[in-house]
Amino acid sequence: MKQNIQSQPVITFRCFSRKSYALFNCLGREVRIGVLSVATLLCATPAIHAQFIEQQTPPTPEKDETLLDEATVSASRAPFGAEVVARQVTVLSRTDLAAAGVSTLNDALKLSASVDVRQRGGFGIQTDISINGGTFDQIALYVNGIPFSNPQTGHNAADFPFTLEDVERIEVLEGAIARLFGAQAFSGAINIVTRSNGRSMVQLQGGSYGTAMVDARGAFHIGKATTSLSSRFFRSDGAVENSDFKGGSLFWQGQHHSSDLHLSWQLGATLKDFGANTFYSAAYNNQWEATRRYLGAIQAEIGTKVHFTPKISWVRSTDHYLLNRAKPTAYENFNRTDVVTIGVGAWTNWKLGRTAIGAEMQNEHLLSRNLGFDLDKNLWTKIPSQDSLYYTRGANRTNLSFYAEHNVFLRCWTFSLGAFAQKNTLTDKHFHLLGGADISYRPNANWSFFASWNQAMRQPTFTDLWYKSPTHEGNGSLKAERNSAFRIGANFQTKALTISAKAFYQHGSNMIDWVQREANGKWQSANFAIDNYGISLRTELSLKSLLGLNQPFERFTMDYAYIDQDRKDDVQVYKANYALEYLRHKLTATLSHRLFADLHAAWNFRIQHREGHYEVYENGKSTGTLLPYGTYAQLDCRLSWERPRYTLSLDLTNLTSHRYYDYGNVRQAGFLLMAGAIYRF
């Protein structure tokens, strides 16, 4: 997946065309518009894009001119113009994030009704993310188009190494899309696009439960290259029992543009130590974990007629887990995974459309004291900073994949057809062929309609296969999950109003979940047949465009999603832990407005109903009682005093201080307060 933003000879817009093919005239070139009206900007910046955009905007221009990014989006393996896309993608831009007043990436993802964000502790530390009723293991996470998922477990996959100030936009793609983003994109994908330009800044935050965060960011221009370096430190005593945390992150990224080369790179690290409240079992409320994640990647786009897109990346994840932090010898575990991805693709335009082909190899190497196969003693690897402790178990598997795709553009139609072949060297020796098709129809400038069918297949995580503890037991005989997803949708957009509606049906076989067969029994991983289906509707109002500039209201959004589930077998279980605990209803609403002078307010309201039950524990023992998660609502507010050089903010989370259960036996925090200040230079 690659956005095509390159430095080419500058084109000056003299008029706009509504022809569906007109946008291709500026592909790969910089477009400069001397004077751009507010109305034109509102029309040219939709809130709902149709696919992932992987690169950042070009350097900030001089004050007397505005540079308009090349309007290319990737609705396939090859990018093409936003006016002819074949898929729907929800994009949370910097404008969306600023208007909603969010302070963490996890809070930003909560703005999408189709995304389920579950937390064991406060401040976004212990977070699981899923889409459309899937599980946290079934989504693909990307950083600027580089895979960031963890094959050991999705529990720690969202340990991103950058700050919210680094984020240009967050792109959420729903549904099975293996032919676009690989096998991990089983129920959807999230791509976080960062920016190497922008302004340097320092941010301080502090508030409830001894929470403190310090962010710093520097951005620089060197010739045709832009680069930025950011860091973060955070600590807290924890908003709920045994949820204290501390850690930090470091992120370096850059881009270089020339006439026939676009080069980008990124290096990052995240270190976290935290109290893992009821992480694997509510019977142990004093669990602890330390995680470390490292990212290194470089990617390029070369050529003008035929575009080659090589990339290579490395992600290392380590964790140190204690069942009881007060008694480390009771049960202790260490894991390390290294994921190396090498890919090369090519795409070109010709008379019959745009064609893309490519291949990718992703090697996943595991070292552990719990997961995998027993290693020969001469292959044991010493665990850093641990006296006389070695990784004694391990596994290695490689995903080999090939893809081919063709896109056809007609006056009002776009057709995208593709195939994806994959083989996993550990669990399956055969290539499996997956396919998909996307269609869009645009009768006029305001309306667009979409339909798609796509397949996906996901291998079990190492935890699903081998994890063993006093409370859990993996299953080495698990089969790969398979999914066929059907989606339809429509977008309507004017200067003041954007509406997006969609419906989906996902037929899943061999779906993986952890279940208890009986009360007080061990959690076991198992395969099930589960179908998910649902609808969602998002509305966004530009109140400035609708009501005029001489009034305080700026923007209002409302997003609703409904999901239902049909399990196809009659296997009786006492309790399921993930797949069956989905959000049936979720409604989010945001309102941003000015109070007076430079003081602004952003309100976030969320109401959701979760299916499933949690088991009540008292003094570390089960009472044998199951209670439904039910429905809860939460209202947050951010007050900010915004000036060109600095911003002062006050985050008021859970204003009603309602305590509720959303994950296991963890009672979520009440009212939280965070104050912050950002200085830009």
The per-residue pLDDT for range 596-607, each reduced to its tens digit, is 999 999 999 999
Judged by average pLDDT, the poorest of 173-187, 284-298, 407-421, 462-476 is 173-187
CA distances from 623 to 287, 475, 645 (A): 20, 28, 56
CA gap 101, 638 in Å, rounded:
6
Query: With 0-12 CB in 10 A as exposed, 13-18 as middle and 19+ as buried, what is 426?
Result: middle
Residue closest to 102 by CA, chosen among 629, 602, 544 = 602
Rounded to two decimals, the pTM is 0.85
Task: Read off the pLDDT of residues 323-338 as tens digits, 9 standing for 90 and up.
Answer: 888 888 878 899 999 9
Q: Please, what sign has the CA dihedral across residues 88, 89, 94, 98?
A: positive
Instruction: Indicate if the pLDDT at residue 647 is higher than 80.
Output: yes
The pLDDT value given to residue 61: 34
Share of the chain above pLDDT 70, in %: 88
- Spatial strand order of the sheet with 188-194 comes to 48-49, 89-93, 167-174, 188-194, 139-143, 146-147
Closest CA relative to residue 580, chosen from 560, 610, 607, 609: 610
Give the pLDDT of residue 297.
97
Three-point CA angle 139, 145, 150, nearest 5°: 40
Helices vs strands, H then E, count in the chain: 6, 43
Identify the sign of the CA torsion 190, 475, 384, 286. Answer: positive
Tell me the average pLDDT across 273-279.
84
Of 65-79, 203-217, 632-646, the range with the lowest mean pLDDT is: 65-79
Residue 472 tokens read as 């859990």
Question: Which three-class secondary structure state does DSSP give residue 25?
Answer: helix
Q: From CA 356, how far away is CA 478, in angstroms rounded?
A: 34
pLDDT in tens, 442-495: 999 999 999 999 999 999 999 999 998 878 889 999 999 999 999 999 999 999
Q: What's the whole-number mean pLDDT along residues 388-406?
A: 95
- Residue at token pair 């859990």: 472
Measure CA 308 to chain center. 26
Tell me what the mean pLDDT of segment 373-389 comes to: 93
What type of residue sits at position 389? L
Beta bridge partners of 440: 414, 450
Q: What is the pLDDT of residues 184-220, one digit of tens each?
A: 788 888 889 899 888 899 999 999 999 999 999 999 9
How many Cβ atoms sit within 10 Å of the Cβ of residue 245? 22
Is the pLDDT at 656 greater than 50? The verdict is yes
Q: Burial, 96: exposed, middle or buried (Cβ in 10 Å; 0-12, 13-18, 19+)?
A: buried
Q: Are strands 393-409 and 167-174 parallel, antiparallel or unpaired?
A: unpaired
Lowest-pLDDT range of 19-33, 284-298, 579-593: 19-33
pLDDT for residue 82: 58
For every residue of 59-77, DSSP letters joined together read: PP--TT-EEEPP-EEBSSS
For residue 47, what pLDDT band results from cuts at 50, 70 and 90?
Answer: very low
Give the amino acid at 61. P
pLDDT for the residue numbered 81: 62
Q: Mean of the pLDDT values across residues 528-537?
A: 94
**Cα 297 from chain centroid?**
18
Instruction: Please report which confidence band the pLDDT of residue 115 belongs to, taking 50, 70 and 90 as the band edges.
Output: very high
Q: What's the pLDDT score for residue 53?
A: 35
Burial pattern 489-517, b for ≥16 Cβ within 10 A else e, equals bbbebeeeebbbbbebebbbbbbbbbbbe
* pLDDT value at 25 more than 70: no
Lowest-pLDDT range, 59-63, 148-152, 373-377, 588-592? 59-63
- For residues 552 and 557, give the distance between their C-alpha atoms in angstroms, rounded to a whole number: 16
Please tell me the predicted confidence (pLDDT) of residue 657.
94
Average pLDDT of the chain?
Answer: 85
Predicted pLDDT of residue 182 = 78
8 A C-beta contact, residue 286 and residue 324: yes
* Mean pLDDT along residues 26-55: 38
For β-strands 599-618 and 583-596, DSSP reports them as antiparallel
Closest of 569, 585, 584, 580 to residue 626, by C-alpha: 580
Q: Of 612, 586, 424, whose CA–CA distance to 514 is shortest?
A: 612
- Best CA proximity match to 172, nearest among 295, 49, 69: 49
